Structure 1
């Protein structure tokens, strides 16, 4: 009687271990050389300026060509915090950020609900709504500057025809009024972006929840409070954080509409930093101001996320 032994058959197709190791090493080298240009670009465009700005914030730098730059430590930060202009611009920035973000959130939610409603040519309406966001910010600023013009602005003409005013007014001539007009221009441009963020959250809500609520004879206010708002908390959190960051460092629309005037009435903290660094040639304090902006944004974002998380839990 013969016995059959099961001897393993060598895998002739598998390459030797040394050959596979060399192949992996070649793949690693190829990946390294492919990623190297992107890494150099990221370091040169993002990482190096961040580290360089942090370094400059500890020195007294009064010119781009300055050779003698004494070390002042936290002196630039102390000088920035002691400046009345810093606190005045910070107050205007907080007002701009909170007001514009709140308006964009409310209007964006209403616009998102309208875009989510069943209607004919909904795709066309969605395409038209995104046009304000597609307009470059500097073009948007120039457009609204013309609309609010005291001599030929369309805003004055419309209000005059409606009988709301009896003569043309300089909407960009008063510090507080001009700041609110800049907010109007910013809200007009950014509300479509907020609406599409919230629209993504609305479309993800199961329709069965609405049907169950109708069976319980729940009206739209109750469905909004019990279904829509709790399930939109993640989308709202993203919108609030993104818009807070963008609104807090607003610069281009201020530059295009008012250049920080009149009487520094629209000089936000980002514009104040720009003036300090490039107009006053005080690069050390300007660099310190930029890092103070980052700190404030981190604090505001953390507070927003915690408040929204708690409110979302309570709404559920």
Structure 2
């Protein structure tokens, strides 16, 4: 008996090859991203304490309920919001201002542009150690500078008060992250046709009007993308706080990411620490998803 067989479609063969080529990447994504997310969420539903190996009873959402009634969690949550909003808004404003300056033609512009990206190019650990030295109460550069200028009469313990320590860590974060905004905004500015500015000058527009009606509308999409990226980075900020203050003094610089670290790896409460980490993920989603939808609608995209 002769069996009838349909010829294999070349598109089907191509699809199989594509799937085969993507398989290693899909395995890596699952192993490094999806599985840890699923497993950490499972851990958050357990009373998982590393001091009691082999004993991890299922407690449902108790870790989440406990977090919402924990004063330390609530203060860390508010501190995370404050840290993120202030640093991101400051970085974007400075990024736009510096990018506009670097767009101008002047001697040595290329060197200045290269130096502008240097703070972001430094590894986070190096950046944190540098700022810890600057703020040092005994031999820090900040104390030496202000003392020599006559602005202080004696060396100060800059990281000795909770709110002041928080603001100084925010300053260090702004110094490191602003160059990213400068680079992205500057790249957008370079793409704006010079003819638009020439036509506006002919029409009598001043500097502010050119910025308001030409520059700002054209860089607004990039500002939106930059805001989204930076708010995600700021909400999960950990390295700088760990190196400079270790969450102190008195918990004054303890944000959600550091609180999750403390509970998971210092107090060995992996279940509770995982629950805090998922609150952090939820915060990013609450901020990010509506913002993405708003940007997409403004650009006439999928959600229009």
State the TM-score, normalizing by the size of structure 1: 0.86
Structure 1 Cα separation of the partners of residues 295 and 24 of structure 2: 40
- Residue equivalent to 2:147: 160
- Residue equivalent to 1:115: 102
- The RMSD of aligned alpha carbons is 2.4
**Shift in CA distance, 311/42, structure 1 to aligned 2, threshold 3 Å:** closer
Deviation at 1:144, TM superposition (A): 0.5
State the secondary structure of the residue aligned to 1:232: helix
Matches for 1:34-49 after TM superposition, within 5 Å? 34-49=21-36
CA shift digits 1:118-152 (9 cap, x unpaired): 22332222222111111000110000100111111
Q: Does 1:77 align with 2:58?
A: no
Unaligned runs of 5+ in 1: 1-16
Deviation at 1:56, TM superposition (A): 1.2
Structure 2 Cα separation of the partners of residues 295 and 306 of structure 1: 16
Deviation at 1:109, TM superposition (A): 0.8
State the secondary structure of the residue aligned to 2:128: helix
Higher CA-based Rg: 1
CA shift digits 1:87-118 (9 cap, x unpaired): 11111111111111111111111111122112
Query: 1:230 touches 1:312 (CA, 8 Å); kept in 2?
Result: no
Structure 1 Cα separation of the partners of residues 202 and 11 of structure 2: 61
Structure 1 Cα separation of the partners of residues 234 and 195 of structure 2: 37
Bigger Cα displacement from structure 2, 216-225 vs 128-137:
216-225
Structure 1 Cα separation of the partners of residues 103 and 218 of structure 2: 15
Q: Does 1:126 align with 2:113?
A: yes
- Residue equivalent to 1:54: 41
Bigger Cα displacement from structure 2, 116-125 vs 290-299:
116-125
The correspondence for 1:171, drawn from 132, 135, 158, is 158
Structure 2 Cα separation of the partners of residues 305 and 166 of structure 1: 50
Structure 2 Cα separation of the partners of residues 161 and 143 of structure 1: 20
State the TM-score, normalizing by the size of structure 2: 0.89
